[in-house]
Structure formats: C-alpha cells, structure tokens
Amino acid sequence: GIQVEQSPPDLILQEGANSTLRCNFSDSVNNLQWFHQNPWGQLINLFYIPSGTKQNGRLSATTVATERYSLLYISSSQTTDSGVYFCAVLYNFNKFYFGSGTKLNVKP
Amino acid sequence: DSGVTQTPKHLITATGQRVTLRCSPRSGDLSVYWYQQSLDQGLQFLIHYYNGEERAKGNILERFSAQQFPDLHSELNLSSLELGDSALYFCASSVGSINNEQFFGPGTRLTVL
C-alpha cells in the first residue's frame, strides 16, 4: 500500500492565529482530499486537490504531487475550526487511504 | 448536509449478532464507498461499489459483506460481531467510478457489548 503521514498530530492555537497542516504520501497518488471531522463526528469536505492550489475563505490548500505532499493553511483561526483534519488519497485508481489526522484545538 | 444519508445513527448490539447498515448516496451519484473509523485503526477503506458492481476491496473482513441495489442505495452487513467491531461506519458517494470527490454521510455508530 501507501503511507500517508500527517503532521503535527496535535495542535493548540489561540483564536486568530494561523496554522499549516501537512500531509506526506509515500508514492504517487491519483487524487487527494482534505476533510474536517467536527466534534460531532461529521466528515466535512474541505478541498478536492490532486494538484495545485485552492482557496475557500480562510482556508487554502496546496498539493505538490511531484514532491508527494499537500498543505492545508488555516488563517485567523476560530473556535469552530476545532476538530480533526484528515487528508485522504486515492492510490492505484483503486483504494483510498487516510492519514491519521491532525487534532486541532482553537482556544478563545 | 452532504446529501448522503445513513441509517441508523446509533446501533447497540451483542457479540455474535448480525446487523445491517444502510446508505443512500447523493442524487445522481453512482458510487458508494464504505469506511470504518475505530480508535486503534483510524479511518479505513472497506469496499467500493459502482452502479451495482463491486469495484474495489480494502480491509474488509470476511464476516462483513456489502451490496448496492438497483436504486443505488447500499447496505453493509456485519455478522458474528465482536467487541472490536465497535466503530463509526461511514458511507460516502461520488458521481463517477473512482477518481472523483467523495462526500460522506453522518455515519452509523456501532457499539458491540
């Protein structure tokens, strides 16, 4: 299979701070998604980003497929950003692999 | 709301029993995927169906089976349940056969006592 590693595993921020979450993968992938799992367990789509850069409000993501990593940027963090952030990749046009997640806690 | 629905939301059962989890994809989506999220294994891909046909298998146990019906809803059957099967089970759907954005349902929380 493929290894998908996310860092950092845990992150504590003060409200208003910026952060960068990283997703490394050990082989070429077909696509990549970022999700936010809120405290109620719901997985919310953030970005579908096999390559390039996308922005959505305070969030943006960049995937550099040739170097096998993706970054998720959160600016001006809010308490509602708390939860776990996952990246997931499609490998060999066949199976999906999730990273172990970054647990974010934004304090007021 | 992603448009993917899952029932039931919660399920409590005993070891050795059998349960069925149900998923309805977003309108227009032909693919359904099942995932298991447990504390020790994280989020794991179980199986993928496209338009009624099985397309890919992940870490799905032999005690588990799934199918996708002509109306495109899917069911995940878990049998001979063990304590370790307690987990959150997600269904996701996408438009195409594989390389498309997936949208997740709210999940079914299974507790095996």
Q: How far apart, in whole angstroms, are the C-alpha atoms of residue A83 and residue A42?
A: 10
pLDDT at B98 over 80: no
Q: A95 or B93: whose pLDDT is higher? A: B93
Of B8-17, B63-72, B89-98, the one with minimum mean pLDDT is B89-98
Q: What is the mean pLDDT of residues B13-31?
A: 97
Q: In this predicted structure, what is the pLDDT of residue B1?
A: 85
Q: Give the model's confidence band at A93: pLDDT under 50 very low, under 70 low, under 90 confident, else very high.
A: confident
Of all residues in chain B, what percent carry a pLDDT higher than 90? Answer: 89
Cβ pairs A/B, distance under 8 A:
51
Give the count of beta carbons closer than 10 Å to the beta carbon of residue B67. Answer: 14
Of all residues in chain B, what percent carry a pLDDT higher than 70? Answer: 100
Using an 8 Å CB-CB cutoff, list chain A residues near B107: 41-43
Q: Give the model's confidence band at A42: pLDDT under 50 very low, under 70 low, under 90 confident, else very high.
A: very high
Contact A22, A7 (CB under 8 A): yes
- Write the residue in A41, A45, A93 that is nearest to B101 by C-beta: A45
Give the count of beta carbons closer than 10 Å to the beta carbon of residue A66. Answer: 8
**A101 to chain B: closest CA residue:** B42
Backbone angles phi, psi at B9, to 5 degrees: -80, -40
